[in-house]
Amino acid sequence: MSPSVAVVTDSTAYLPPVETVRLGVAVIPLQVVIGGRAYDDMADIDPAGVSAALRARSPVTTSRPAPERFAAAYEAAAAGGATAIVSIHLSGEMSGTVEAARLAAETAPIPVEVIDSRSIAMGLGFAVLSAARTAAQGAGPNEVAAAARHTLEHTHSFFYVDTLEHLRRGGRIGPAATLLGSALMIKPLLHIVEGVIVPLEKVRTATRALARLEDLAVQAALTLKSPPLPPEAPPATPKPPEAPSATPEPPTLTPDPSTPTPGPSTPTPGASTPTPDPSTPTPGASTPTPDPSTPTPGASTSTPGGSSTPTAGSSEAAPGVAIAVQHLAARARAEALAERLTARLPALTRLEIVEVGAVIGAHVGPGMLGVTVAPAS
């Protein structure tokens, strides 16, 4: 029996197809345009295709889905027996996708609640999974939406890119911020604040940047060891309710003494017309060198091999925490990072390795490596 609340998202969540099918999540593809030809993300073009185009310096742009595609998904959900829909999408500060969903919701045959995740990639994906699992348990639309928002409020995303040039071209980060990574081989670490990508730290080498990325992920995981429950689920012991936050409070981070923190830069919000929209998101971090062993097109998920002995100063456990290591054409480096995180956080509830698709890949470039830390649903 299908849940009474249907969950809809877009392709930039980069969820494993087997999971979206099992949970009944409808996925609306964004588009990537290469050389004047449009491709549906996750369907018509794979990460290797967009990586090759970027290396060849071919013109690559992205565009939001047309409202009609959302309308068709909403009508199909109603025809399938759903009585309400929760539609969760990538940050409206980076794309017009959420606006297209809202336009379609106005004429949908059943109530639709559209949620701007103010995130991207698995920052969005973990919220979608939380909503879908809540819906599968028979919850109503308010509870399903609350589950998604709860996950989003406690999610942290950090990422590394080899160059800020792809973000600059797509309008995701300002020209001044681009200069931060151009001099003296500075390698920037970035994160998402208020739905936009901003610089977090500057590191001198790629090796040090990736080590710092690992530390940031571990610190964020430790802050989520006992995340608060959603509003609908009272805590086990009475205590004053916490005021919800519209956006996640960044974890308390121990700064790298050799890495000054740059000022934030706000990207240009996405256009809301169905024509190619250079305002499409970007995920996680970065890692150079394409890996020919990259699996099937689109998002690929796997649990890394065995965990080693925890390193000095690591947490002994991180129950209730999920981590996604995301990459573009850098699977070997992503697997190495996942193994180190497993060693330092051996009691993680879930750890995924995900290769981002063409739309996000167009804005971060080959070699991106990112980490998303969220409450496990």
What are the domain boundaries of the chain? 5-153, 156-232+244-375
Q: In 3-state terms, the chain is what percent helix, strand and coil (to 5)? A: 35, 20, 45
Q: What pLDDT is attached to residue 43?
A: 87
In the prediction, which pLDDT does 51 show? 86
Question: Do 5-153 and 156-232+244-375 show the same overall fold?
Answer: no
CATH of domain 156-232+244-375: 3.30.1180.10
Residue 59 CB neighbour total at 10 angstroms: 10
Residues 132 and 140: their CA atoms lie apart, in Å, by 11
pLDDT at 372 over 80: yes
User: What residue spans of the chain are helical by DSSP H?
Assistant: 17-23, 47-55, 67-79, 97-105, 121-136, 141-153, 165-169, 175-180, 206-223, 331-344, 358-364
From residue 64, alpha-carbon distances to 83, 235, 321, 374 in Å are 26, 39, 31, 26
> Quick check: 197 and 321 in contact, CB under 8 A?
no
Query: Tell me, what amino acid is at 96?
Result: G
CATH architecture of 5-153: 3-Layer(aba) Sandwich (3.40)
In whole angstroms, what separates CA 186 from the centre of its chain?
A: 24
Q: What is the pLDDT of residue 318?
A: 63
Sheet with 37-40: list strands edge to edge.
37-40, 31-34, 60-63
What's the mean per-residue pLDDT of the chain? 78
pLDDT digits (tens, 9 = 90+) for 67-94: 999 999 999 999 999 999 999 999 999 9
| Average pLDDT over every residue of 328-335 | 94
**Helix, strand, or coil (residue 60):** strand
Q: Could you give the CA distance from residue 210 to residue 334 in angstroms, rounded to a whole number? A: 10
- Look at residue 217 in the predicted model and tell me its pLDDT: 96
Helix axes 331-344, 206-223, angle to 10 degrees: 40
On the question of pLDDT at 208 being above 60, the answer is: yes
Q: Which two tokens stand for residue 261?
A: 């923190």
Which percentage of the chain shows pLDDT scores above 90?
49
Distance CA 7, CA 74 (A): 10
Contacts of 268 (CB under 8 A, 6+ apart): 171, 172, 278, 279
Does pLDDT of 135 surpass 60?
yes
State mean pLDDT over 147-163. Answer: 93
pLDDT per position as a tens digit, 40-64: 988 888 888 888 888 888 888 889 9
Specify the higher pLDDT residue, 341 or 307.
341
Rounded to an integer, the average pLDDT of 188-192 is 88
More confident residue, 257 or 343: 343
CB 40 within 8 A of CB 291: no
Cα distance between residue 253 and residue 275, in whole Å:
40
Please name which of 238, 217, 237, 180 lies closest in space to residue 314, comparing C-alpha atoms.
217
Q: Which residue has the tokens 């690992």?
A: 214
pLDDT tens for each residue of 284-327: 444 444 444 333 333 333 333 333 333 334 444 567 899 999 99
Q: In what order do the strands lie in the sheet with 112-116?
A: 26-28, 5-10, 84-89, 112-116
**What does DSSP say about strands 350-355 and 112-116: parallel, antiparallel, or unpaired?**
unpaired
Report the relative pairing of strands 31-34 and 37-40 from DSSP bridges. antiparallel
pLDDT of residue 267: 40
pLDDT at 72: 98
pLDDT-derived band at 363, boundaries 50, 70, 90 = confident
A 10 A CB-CB count for 87 gives 28
pLDDT for res 182: 53
Top mean-pLDDT range of 5-9, 14-18, 34-38, 293-297: 5-9
Within 8 A by CB and 6+ apart from 136, the residues are 3, 23, 24
Q: Output the six-digit token pair for 301.
A: 């998920």
